[in-house]
A and B are shown apart, each in its own frame.
Chain A
Amino acid sequence: MTENIGELVAEHPLFSGLPVDVAELVGGCSQNVAIATGQLLLEEGEPARSLYLLRRGHVALEVHEPGRVPLVIDRIGPGQAVGWSWMFPPYRWHFDARALEPVGAISVDADCLRAKAETDPAFGYLLMKRLAAVMLDRLQATRIRLLDVYGRDVAH
């Protein structure tokens, strides 16, 4: 059965449980995209114009370095989202994001989303609460990774 883009948005964990009209607002800025293996979704330094809601496939968040294979920072999969730099100036990607396999995603136009959030503060607040919760989870997970917990042993 064909679903409209608003329904697909509402099914994604980032927006699940929100009122239908909110999902429709996001859906109005969204399109389905297919990304081939190896293709970059985000490219460091380039303008940040989309939020990607992953539906299928995995994406590697990377930092590239001349003469070396990219350093993988994180791997993001179905049900997760990638791309946050569109939220705040200077609206440029900080990292690369590469499709590790064929990826199916909802691409949400960032300019459109920001404009709707600006004109409808209630929507903007709901949106920011959802995005901030995910970013907080990522920040806390990253901080725990920095602890290098598995390396802490008492010498015997």
Chain B
Amino acid sequence: MCMDAMLLTEVEPLLNPLTPVTYRVVARHVETGDVVTLSLEPTSGPSPFSFKPGQFNMLTSFGVGEVAISISSAPGAPGPVEHTVRDVGAITHSLCTAAVGSVVGVRGPFGTDWGVDGFDDKDVVIVAGGIGLAPLRGAISYLVDKPGRTGRVYVLVGAREPDQITFPDDLKRWERDGAVVKVTVDVPDSRWWGAIGVVTTLLPTIDFDPARTVALVCGPEIMMRFTVRGLVDLGVALASIRVSLERNMQCGIGWCGHCQLGPLLICRDGPVFDYSAALEKLISERER
């Protein structure tokens, strides 16, 4: 046997991280006008991966391209694995319009997670802006459903308009199951009776103990920066804040460098990061 053949034989049983596994779209739920949740099951056999809340997969729309999408279901939840996609370009449009029964490619899971296993006695303040609720959805469900937790869960959600609020049924369910859930919109309509303003304005309205609080923040980076400032102003330690960043992830495993941010490769070192002064400097860098 030649050396190449030996290598192939040894490598083949492992999943090649660059080769997508085919999954079938078994359900498609329109969350808002441009956001769709796809429920995926492997085309054959059991799901080949387990994941933690906050990790992402690379989803392939065959013939169109591949894009990093957060897993939006909770780990261990029964049924198919869910990914929530916002239609913002050719690839995501193709995924958002994928019909039930169609086949997409899945690589992953990749990246760091929210670390929710270590929060049992902590209050957890979760701040999501827009589609940023999707990467947090699995973490929230996990925390709300986990027996024996003593800390409280606060879910603060900001959306542009009332009809752009994602996962309304989950928000109701989390509140019913003990979480404090607050939603605010930038632009209300005549039927909106909730809060108005950016999501940071909700922070002073919740009663939590900053000394025993962990904060998970996901949304546009400007929103995250302002949210972190708001949390710190209320006494939350910078080291107790985690954010999820997004860049142009392509390989998912730190090989290609497309998602580089300073010394970081977001797909490998993130997407979930402990917030720090150094990270703030990176995401606040001015374009010259």
Chain A positions near chain B (C-beta within 8 angstroms): 69-70, 72-75, 100, 141, 144-145, 147-156
Contacts and interface: CB of A to CB of B under 8 A. Distances in A.
Interface in B54-79: 65, 67
A149 B130 CA distance: 9
Contacts of A100: 193
Interface of B: 65, 67, 86, 88-92, 129-131, 158-160, 164, 186, 188-190, 192-198, 200-201, 219-220, 222-223, 226, 246, 248
A132 B89 CA distance: 43
A66 to B, nearest CB: 15
Contacts of B67: 156
A145 B196 CA distance: 10
A153 B88 contact: yes
A81 B220 CA distance: 30
Contact of B188 (A72, A147, A151, A155): A72
A112 to B, nearest CB: 30
A150 B129 contact: yes
25 contacts: A72-B190, A72-B192, A72-B196, A73-B196, A74-B197, A75-B195, A141-B197, A145-B197, A145-B198, A147-B222, A148-B160, A148-B186, A149-B129, A149-B223, A150-B130, A150-B158, A150-B160, A150-B186, A153-B86, A155-B89, A156-B65, A156-B88, A156-B89, A156-B91, A156-B248
Contacts of A148: 160, 186
A149 B86 contact: no
Nearest to A61: B196
Contacts of A69: 190
The binding surface of chain A is classed by DSSP as mixed
Residue among A100, A153, A156 with the most chain B CB within 10 A? A156
A150 B188 CA distance: 14
Given A144-B226, A149-B220, 17 more contacts: A73-B196, A74-B196, A75-B194, A149-B130, A149-B223, A150-B131, A150-B186, A150-B220, A151-B130, A152-B220, A152-B222, A153-B131, A154-B88, A154-B89, A154-B246, A155-B89, A156-B89
A50 B247 CA distance: 50
A141 B194 CA distance: 16
A92 B48 CA distance: 67
B130 A144 contact: no
Nearest to B88: A153
A145 B201 CA distance: 11
A75 B186 contact: no
B147 to A, nearest CB: 34
Contact of B219 (A141, A147, A149): A149
Contacts of A152: 220, 222
Given A74-B197, A141-B197, A149 B89 contact: no
